[in-house]
Amino acid sequence: MAIILRLDRVMADRKMSLNELSEHVGVSNVNLSKLKTGKVSAIRFSTLSAICKTLNCQPGDLLEFIDDDTEQNE
């Protein structure tokens, strides 16, 4: 099982750069870059809320659950 981060896709849809998002959310470029590339194991709800507000999206637009067992059975 895995949670896939789709921040890069939502940012591209909104035509927003990492620098712009960083300024609006108040999170460093380095930390947002880690989120964008999926190299994190946790995210604060306050950060998730700020990203959703800035990108005008829902948490489900940014996060996707993949069930490895389902993929193997198909």
Residue 41 belongs to domain with CATH number: 1.10.260.40
Q: pTM for this one?
A: 0.85
Separation of alpha carbons 51 and 26, rounded Å? 10
How many whole angstroms separate alpha carbon 69 and alpha carbon 73? 6
Q: What percent of the chain has pLDDT over 90?
A: 78
Note down the domain range covering 22: 2-73
- Give the tokens for residue 61: 């637009």
Query: How would you label 19-51 residue by residue, b for 16+ Cβ within 10 Å and e otherwise?
Result: eebbeebebeeeebeebbeeeeeebeeebeebb
Collapse the DSSP code of 70 into the 3-class scheme (helix H, G, I; strand E, B; otherwise coil) and give the result: helix
How do residues 33-66 score in pLDDT, each as one tens digit?
A: 999 998 998 999 999 999 999 999 999 999 999 9
Count the domains in the chain: 1
